[in-house]
Amino acid sequence: MIADETQVDYTSLETLLARAAQSTDYELFPRLDLVIPEVRERWDQMLEVLLPTPLKFMINELPPRLNFTVEEVREFWEEIEEQDHFVTLQSLPVVEPETLAQLESWIATTFHDYMSDGYYGVRALSLVSKPYFSSAREIALALVRAATLIGIPRVIEHLREWFDFTPLAFTTKALVLGLELEKPLDLTQDIKLKTIGFNLGAISPDLPAYVKNQFGSVERIGLVNAVVISINQEMWHLDTLFTPESEEFEKDTEEEFLLEERDQLDAIYRALSLATDSALIPLYKWRDFGDLLAFNTGTLDPSIGPSIESSEQNLMQRVRAYLTPEQIGNAATLIPKLGMNNLSSLGLYQAVERWMKVKRLSLSSPELSLNNDNFIELRIVLESLFLDDNARDELAYRLALRGARLIGKDLQERKRIFRTLREAYAIGSEAVHKGEVKSKKKNRKILDDTLEIVRAEILDRLEAGRKRDWDDIALG
């Protein structure tokens, strides 16, 4: 349902917000939720680590002006931590009762078409806060908070966009290692790369405090010259205003968007890794909501913070691939081809993911990369690429012959590829059946050469856009 935006009384709202925003005082309130041990444990860890620091770091820098101290938060937490239900903290602005009642009345009238059982569906609030729906009071306090942070004109501008159903915009960001940039660059129109630089004290907003605080002081050294990937997003398929009675549909649609966002980010990791013949190490991802964050309803919940992208975090890695103009163009071309659906249809998903895993370890820990698990991973990659027709006999021979025929450009190169693939498959089989790989000097070269062959086949199949027909290939 689309509201008549011309009937919204913004003049009254401006007056009420001007009156309410005169006070910048905030109070702490508990919010009861189900007991979630993992989340509670995260809270305890965050309190222990962050209490000695300014409170704004704990709450993702919102709101920046609070009139209570860290000690008051500690006392408050100690009082409520024995509750039977998990309790989060809300930081809510103090508004004079009559003004607050008038604001609630304005919201009840203006958002009437998007109310069910006393709750309203306002996408911006649900996007940056924990509650999926909001009461009139929560919306009123969120508007007051936003007015004090970004100003009343900007709040009105946002409201106009919501009632006009302009898609909400934000930026998905990820912190990665493994790339070297000469300067910030645009990978595509909506995907940008930027090095966070040498000055660790001045890396925000590229790396916000609540991301930086995930790392210790020693680990932060490893962040020097790490790269932030930024993706411009628009929630075009989710209405800015909705009725809570459509909860299941809305949540399903939002889940679909989250999966698309995840798939897009993974495709970028894969494209940059294949284009540079390297392997990115993703550390954290988060969302930069810009001034939409000012509409947070006040729930101080750690779930808004960054999520870990990879457990394979070696912050001291110094191997970085320098992005050339040609590689930038190749990566941009590869991104649309490297989503999960396309990779699965081409029989490449396992090969790409495992190639990146082996490549990553090969670059960060050369000695460890010659272990059993890596050659077993490589064996699985080779089978997924060259034995995907369920062949049952002469596997090593068939695999090596197919790879040589496809990748080699002349007889000598085909012979070399044939020998390399047979040896790599034999080492992988030895690791599977005997549980050990004898450390040999030539294993390093076999590993590197096989990774190069695998990459060539992946890129060739992506370019062709279809799975291999082994009978056609055998018959020439």
Residue 349 and residue 303 share a domain: no
Average pLDDT, the chain: 78
The per-residue pLDDT for 375 is: 87
- In the listed set 133, 163, 193, which residue is the last one of a domain according to the structure? 163
Higher pLDDT, 75 or 356: 356
Given a contact cutoff of 8 angstroms between Cβ atoms, the answer to whether 113 and 1 are in contact is yes
Lowest mean pLDDT, pick from 62-66, 74-78, 438-442: 62-66
Q: Within 10 Å of residue 113's Cβ, how many Cβ atoms?
A: 13
Q: Are residues 106 and 232 in the same domain?
A: no
Q: Which of 75-89, 369-383, 423-437, 457-471 has the highest mean pLDDT?
A: 457-471
Do 236 and 278 reside in the same domain of the chain? Answer: yes
Select the more confidently predicted residue: 15 or 259.
Answer: 15
Distance, in Å, from the CA atom of 188 to the CA atom of 339, rounded to the nearest integer, reads 16
Q: What is the pLDDT of residue 56?
A: 36
Q: How confident is residue 131, by pLDDT bands cut at 50, 70 and 90?
A: low
Q: Which domain holds residue 269?
A: 169-308
- 64 and 132 assigned to the same domain: yes
Spatial distance between the Cα atoms of 389 and 383, rounded to a whole number of angstroms:
10
Nearest to 265 by CA among 382, 402, 171, 349: 171
pLDDT digits (tens, 9 = 90+) for 17-66: 999 987 667 766 655 443 445 545 555 555 554 444 433 333 333 343 44
Q: Does some domain include residue 223?
A: yes
Residue 188 pLDDT exceeds 70:
yes
**Assigned domain for 82 exists:** yes
Contact 462, 348 (CB under 8 A): yes
**Which of 4-8, 243-247, 432-436 bottoms out in mean pLDDT, i.e. has the lowest?**
4-8
**Vertex 264 angle, CA 261 and 268, to 5°:** 140
pLDDT at 419 over 90: yes
159 and 173 fall within a common domain? no
- Which of 163, 179, 204 marks a domain boundary? 163
Position 128 pLDDT exceeds 50? yes
Q: What is the pLDDT of residues 216-250, one digit of tens each?
A: 655 666 677 788 999 999 988 888 998 887 655 56
pLDDT at 307 over 80: no
346, 372: one domain:
yes
What residues contact 379, with CB distance under 8 A and at least 6 apart? 424, 425, 428, 429, 431, 432
Does the pLDDT value for residue 342 go beyond 60? yes
User: Is the residue at 98 inside a domain?
Assistant: yes
Gyration radius from the chain CA atoms: 27
Mean pLDDT of 118-138: 83
Q: How confident is the model at residue 323 (pLDDT cuts 50, 70, 90)?
A: confident
- Higher pLDDT, residue 277 or 64: 277
Residues 145 and 220 in one domain: no
pLDDT of residue 93: 81
Residues 156 and 37 in one domain: yes
Question: Do 404 and 417 touch, CB atoms closer than 8 A?
Answer: yes
Q: pLDDT confidence of 199, banded at 50, 70, 90? A: low
- Examine residue 316 and state whether it is found in any structural domain, yes or no: no
- For residues 296 and 180, state if they share a domain: yes
Are 112 and 249 contained in the same domain?
Answer: no
The pLDDT assigned to 303 comes to: 41
CA distance readout (Å), 327 to 48, 330, 370, 371: 44, 5, 28, 31
Residue 195 lies in a domain: yes
Per the structure, how many domains does the chain have? 3
The end-to-end CA distance of the chain, in Å, is 60
Tell me if 235 is assigned to some domain.
Answer: yes
Amino acid at the residue 450: T
The pLDDT of residue 302 is above 70: no
Same domain, 134 and 190: no
**Same domain, residue pair 128 and 176:** no
Cα separations (Å) of 367 from 52, 125, 362, 439, 470? 41, 50, 8, 10, 36
pLDDT of residue 156: 96
How high is the pLDDT of residue 353?
A: 94
Torsion of Cα atoms, 36 then 37 then 42 then 44, to 10°: 120
**Distance of alpha carbon 474 from the chain centroid:** 43
Q: Does residue 321 sit within a domain?
A: no
Q: How confident is the model at residue 445 (pLDDT cuts 50, 70, 90)?
A: confident
Residue 325 forms part of a structural domain: no
Among residues 238, 148, 227, 162, the alpha carbon closest in space to that of 195 is found at: 227
Of 163, 192, 221, the position where a domain reaches its end is 163
So what's the pLDDT on residue 434?
73
Q: Which residue has the higher pLDDT, 188 or 290?
A: 188
pLDDT of residue 299: 61
Look at residue 197 and tell me whether its pLDDT is greater than 70.
no
